[in-house]
Amino acid sequence: MVRGLYTASNGMVAQQEKLDIISNNLANVNTTGFKKDGVIIESFNSVLTTKINDRSMPMNQTIGKMTLGCRVGQVYTDNTQGGATMTDDPYNVAILGNGMFNIGIEDKEGNQQIRYTRDGSFTLSTDGTLMTKEGNYILGQNGKIVIPSGSNNIRISENGTIFDNDTQIDKLLLTDFENPESLRKIGDNLYSQTEDTKTNPFGGKLMQGYLESSNVNTVREMVDMISVMRTYEANQKVIQTQDETLKKAVNDVGRL
């Protein structure tokens, strides 16, 4: 009887985690270059159970296998290409194909750390440094990319080379990944490498004056949300039913 409570409660916990992922996807439907997350739900490992302290049966007789419902087995990122939206801003760049921009951030000790993003909505700081909207600087082959004062014809080629008219300023540092599923989201639309991450030379191309849209499908996410809520409510009713049954067993059966 109590096993049913555990099974239903585990189901509710798994659905709550899935709902959190869906909510985050919907919250980022307009975030440039955002990649939605998905959830894989799996059953708990089956365990072999035995019957003990039952005089009518041999000691430790095997009953069979038992599991306690489901759990979230994996949260993964869907890296499919988002749509390209024209902005005509020379500092907006969209990536077509695989790969990410290299972003430099500084920790509290002032040490540089490299992070990655698909968000190409860049801007200039007061000193002409190419930055993200969050204030992190874009990395080029020469480090920070600084646009000379007075530049009025900035051109970014398909391979990331930045020109002021016909003068080359720098080249965007871009990285492709052999196993992008190994990257970890760290917030602010940034990713970090893990020990398992393997890099490849950039093989995609850039589109200046465009931004990559989020790959979140709003309708599909709403349908998934409704499905999750119904499954959650079904598990909730199971717990209520189990609770009522236990209540009767305690209050009524004992009177007989």
Span 49-79, pLDDT tens digits: 565 666 666 556 666 666 677 888 889 999 9
142 within domain boundaries = yes
46 lies in the same domain as 106: no
Task: Kindly state the tokens that stand for 175.
Answer: 């990285």
Whether 190 and 102 share a structural domain: yes
Q: Looking at the structure, do residues 103 and 187 belong to the same domain, yes or no? A: yes
Question: How confident is the model at residue 53, as a pLDDT?
Answer: 62
Residues 121 and 204 in one domain: yes
Residue 227 has pLDDT above 70, yes or no: yes
In a domain? residue 177 = yes
Q: For the chain, what percent of residues have pLDDT higher than 90?
A: 55
The Cα–Cα gap between 115 and 111 comes to 13
Neighbour-count burial for 130-169, b at 16+ CB within 10 Å, e otherwise = bbbeeebbbbbeeebbbbeeebeebebeeebbbbeeeeeb
Place of tokens 């869906």: 22
Tell whether 131 and 152 lie within a shared domain.
yes
Q: Does residue 141 carry a pLDDT above 60?
A: yes
**pLDDT for 23 beyond 90:** yes
Domain shared by 53 and 68, yes or no = yes
The answer to whether residue 220 is domain-embedded is: no
Number of domains into which the chain is organized: 2
Say which residue, 1 or 96, is predicted with more confidence.
96
Residue 212, token pair as written in the block = 């990559």
Global pTM reads 0.82
Distance (Å, rounded) from C-alpha 202 to C-alpha 178? 11
Q: Is residue 206 part of a domain?
A: yes
Same domain, 169 and 97: yes
Check residues 142 and 5 and name the one with the higher pLDDT.
142
Q: Which of 182, 123, 193 is nearest to 154 (CA)?
A: 123
pLDDT over 80 (residue 208): yes
Q: What is the distance between the alpha carbons of residues 1 and 39, in angstroms, rounded to a whole number?
A: 29
Structure tokens at 90: 């020379």
Q: How far is CA 254 from CA 122, 244, 250, in A?
A: 72, 15, 6
Q: The domain containing residue 44 runs over which residues?
A: 2-79+225-255
Q: What is the mean pLDDT of the chain?
A: 87
- Residue 219 falls inside a structural domain: no
172 in the same domain as 100? yes
pLDDT at 43: 75
Q: For residue 116, which phi and psi values (nearest 5 degrees)?
A: -135, 150
| 124 occurs within a structural domain | yes
| Gap between the Cα atoms of 205 and 61, Å rounded | 65
